[in-house]
Amino acid sequence: KAGVTQTPRYLIKTRGQQVTLSCSPISGHRSVSWYQQTPGQGLQFLFEYFSETQRNKGNFPGRFSGRQFSNSRSEMNVSTLELGDSALYLCASSLGEPGQFNQPQHFGDGTRLSIL
Amino acid sequence: DQQVKQNSPSLSVQEGRISILNCDYTNSMFDYFLWYKKYPAEGPTFLISISSIKDKNEDGRFTVFLNKSAKHLSLHIVPSQPGDSAVYFCAASERMGSGGSNYKLTFGKGTLLTVNP
């Protein structure tokens, strides 16, 4: 069974640009969550999508957005990139509905975004 | 304000012994707690979770203990194996609003566990 696939694995952008990251969940999983990991702040929850709707959102500015398609694949977009956006962006999918923590999340290996 | 704290950045344990990873929290509204393990260059892997209505949950070598009065939880790994060497994250969930699916998930900064052969 294929795991969560994130593309690309590495990305280099410059300040002011925008970027789109992609996540393909495990087949049958409808819940997709995004996280940002940085050395200083650790792992922070960005948002969660379920059935093409954003169900939960963390404390990130509006420059961070996402969407989910009918096949549960999800994209995350960051506009007007800042140096502080350099991070590992992780996607996770779950068989359960949002908040069903007895259904574990399965993470991809992440996209390493570097802002120059 | 860090609501979930893992005060030990690192922990070193001998193979076969018990590893105890600690996590403290400040928000009494957290109702679910989770532990994840992360190897370098890989995404986190879910380990075990516990609801706030319980004080213990066990899964194989992993046991999580929750002390609500102290706002403290711990992950016990017995016996520890070299393959357990990884960064361990504690996370806590808070329900937002009256709906069942709106919640906020907060992570600690992680503890690097090294199990020496």
User: What is the reported pLDDT for A56?
Assistant: 87
**pLDDT tens string A39-74:** 888 889 999 999 999 988 888 999 999 999 999 999
Tell which residue, A98, A97, A92, has the closest CA to residue A74: A92
Q: Do A99 and B101 touch (CB under 8 A)?
A: yes
Which parts of chain B sit beneath pLDDT 50? none
User: What is the reported pLDDT for A59?
Assistant: 87
Q: A99 pLDDT band (50/70/90 cuts)?
A: confident
Check whether A105 has a pLDDT greater than 80. yes
Q: Which of the two residues, B98 and A112, has the higher pLDDT score?
A: A112
Question: Phi and psi for B45 in degrees, rounded to 5?
Answer: -120, 130
State how far the alpha carbon of A68 is from the alpha carbons of A34, A45, A55, A77, A91, in Å.
11, 17, 11, 12, 12
Tell which residue, B38, B26, B47, B45, has the closest CA to residue B92: B26
Check whether A1 has a pLDDT greater than 60. no
**pLDDT tens string B81-101:** 999 999 999 999 988 766 656
**pLDDT tens string A2-24:** 799 999 999 999 999 999 999 99
User: What is the reported pLDDT for B65?
Assistant: 98
Chain A / chain B CB contacts < 8 angstroms: 65
Residues of A within an 8 Å Cβ radius of B:
4, 33, 35, 41-45, 50, 55-56, 58, 90-92, 97-99, 101-102, 104-110
Check whether A101 has a pLDDT greater than 80. no
